[in-house]
Amino acid sequence: MTQRLNYFQQSPELSRKLGELGELLHKTTLEAPIRELVEIRASQINGCAFCVDMHVKMAKLHGERELRLHHVAIWRESPLFSPRERAALAWAEVLTRLPADGVPDDLYEHVLEHYSAQELSDLTFLVGLINSWNRLSVAFRSVPGSLDRLFGLDKANLE
């Protein structure tokens, strides 16, 4: 894969603002494992190789078990995820795919059983953010692993 252009270089202020939003999301009450699972799942759906690669490595560095990382794609069938994680993954999927008739009420109510209104708002911003990064990386063909050293992801020992 050859990168088309480097959007960080072409739009540095906009890229920095997305990064700042990500930093703010790390300060919310959303647990790091849930954030990583959501980022991986949305990236899988969007076919964003760069972001799947990055977030798998980040999750590994944060102590995520490898089997759970393999099971993100099959989370509905896997016994490895908590009800709270499942709700977040379902929310990420519906917002990433956005059905023509919108988000179903039953899913919204189900997610609210596991998240406060504030957490659900934060989770929704997280899904929006990763979808933005996915669209940039897919459009411009960001090369998986190309920023590993910069972000310290080479320490994940996943090659």
Q: Which CATH number fits domain 13-154: 1.20.1290.10, 3.20.20.70, 1.20.120.550, 3.20.20.60?
A: 1.20.1290.10
Q: What is the pLDDT of residue 148?
A: 67
Residue 19 sits at the vertex; the CA angle it makes with 26 and 116, to the nearest 5 degrees, is: 35
**Cα 83–Cα 101–Cα 73 angle in degrees, nearest 5:** 40
Q: How high does pLDDT run on average in the chain?
A: 95
- For the chain, the domains span 13-154
pLDDT in tens, 20-38: 999 999 999 999 999 999 9
**pLDDT-based confidence at residue 156 (cuts at 50, 70, 90):** confident
How many CB atoms are closer than 10 A to CB 9? 8
**More confident site: 159 or 51:** 51
| pLDDT, tens only, 83-135 | 999 999 999 999 999 999 999 999 999 999 999 999 999 999 999 999 999 99
CA separation for the pair 110, 21 (Å, rounded): 26
* Percent of the chain with pLDDT strictly greater than 90: 89
Measure the CA dihedral 23/66/73/80, to 10°.
-100
Residue 124 neighbours by CB under 8 Å, 6+ apart: 91, 95
Of 53, 54, 33, 51, nearest to 43 (Cα)? 51
- Residue identified by tokens 């799947």 is 52
Distance CA 135, CA 87 (A): 24
Instruction: Say what the pTM is.
Output: 0.94
Q: Sign of the CA dihedral 35, 38, 44, 45?
A: negative
Burial 59-68 (b: 16+ CB within 10 A, else e): bbbeebeeeb
Which burial class, exposed, middle or buried, applies to 99 when counting CB atoms under 10 A from its CB (0-12, 13-18, 19+)? exposed
